[in-house]
Amino acid sequence: MRRSIVAIHVVALAVWLGSLAFSFQVAGRLFGGARKPVCPACLKTTTETETLVVCVGCGALQHQACAKARNGLCSLEHLGLRECVPPDENVLGKLRKIVTPSLTGTSSWTRVRRTGEDVPPERRLLWRLDACTPALSEKKDEGESKSRFVPGACFELPYPAVGDSLARVFEGSQVLGIILGVIGLGTAFLTRPGGAMRLMRAGALALALGLNAWLLFSLSPDIAAKRLALDAPGAPTAEEKAAFGKLHGMSLGGSVGVALLVLTALTLASVRREDVVSSETATA
């Protein structure tokens, strides 16, 4: 019976820690794919220094060299004109009449399909940015002079969907964490080692459980509310952007804190009482 309780305790902590690690991995993968536009022809990231051309039919931006290799034609499947030309004001003015910006302020994305079968099927479907929110148009990576989020840029993932997806991922991870935290804290008093190490383990789990509950029930709703301002028709104020960034930083810090506390509890749970006694005897 005691071995079963020990197994439940250790497995609960391991799964809790694993779910946190998985959430971080998913976040890194999604944001990495959504922050950088790619050329729909070669699927390589476009940079500020590279020469791009625009399709007069669909408005997709792509490398000039890639379009030239395709006889100056667009690499996306669509009806109408497929010629790619330098993005001068005359061409962009016509494209603005074709693509109507969203009246609600949310960015507008179109699912597009790449021609050719030289890449896996899952990479042939991309997202083209047609209309951009003021907040998204101001978003820059460190060292860049202008935003990569411009109409016509193609991405493997739409940026707004990343935020929506991660909100669900972290919410699910936090709910799972509370369930596993209750199980881990309840079984902590029925497993070895005892004494001060048991109290330390229980304390770490109690703190992790409380922090997890705060992230789920208090911080997550605040982040969702602040995010609304970033999708408004007008540009967000500096205060709104700072408040949103601060909450995100608190969320990241809280999640890291939960992971460290669970790791501490899992490490303490792996210590055998015999090892502690042997260590104390050797010191004496």
State pLDDT tens for residues 29-53.
888 778 789 999 999 999 888 899 9
Pairing between β-strand 52-55 and β-strand 125-131 as defined by DSSP bridges: unpaired
Q: pLDDT for 95-118, tens place per residue?
A: 555 544 555 667 889 999 999 888
pTM above 0.85, yes or no: no
CA distance 54 to 100: 17
Any idea which of 29-33, 56-60, 99-103, 152-156 has the lowest mean pLDDT? 99-103
pLDDT of residue 91: 60
Q: Are 76 and 112 in contact (CB under 8 A)?
A: yes
Q: pLDDT for 219-247, tens place per residue?
A: 999 998 888 888 777 778 889 989 999 99
Query: Pick from 253, 252, 236, 243: which is nearest to 222 by CA?
Result: 243
pLDDT at 284 over 70: no
pLDDT of residue 282: 46
The DSSP element (H or E) to which 131 belongs, if any, is: strand 125-131
DSSP 242-270: HHHHHHHHHHHHHHHHHHHHHHHHHHHHT
Alpha-helical regions (H) of the chain: 2-34, 64-69, 89-98, 134-137, 159-188, 195-214, 220-230, 238-269, 273-283
For CATH 1.20.120, the residue range(s) in the chain are 2-30+161-273
Query: Pick from 75, 55, 53: which is nearest to 64 by CA?
Result: 53
Output the six-digit token pair for 151.
């109409």
Percentage, residues of the chain above pLDDT 70: 89
Please give the residue that has the higher pLDDT: either 7 or 107: 7
The single-letter DSSP state of residue 57 is: T
Residue 110 dihedral angles phi and psi, to the nearest 5°: -125, 135
Query: Pick from 237, 257, 266, 269: which is nearest to 20 by CA?
Result: 257
Structurally, at CATH architecture level, domain 2-30+161-273 sits in: Up-down Bundle (1.20)
pLDDT of residue 103: 55
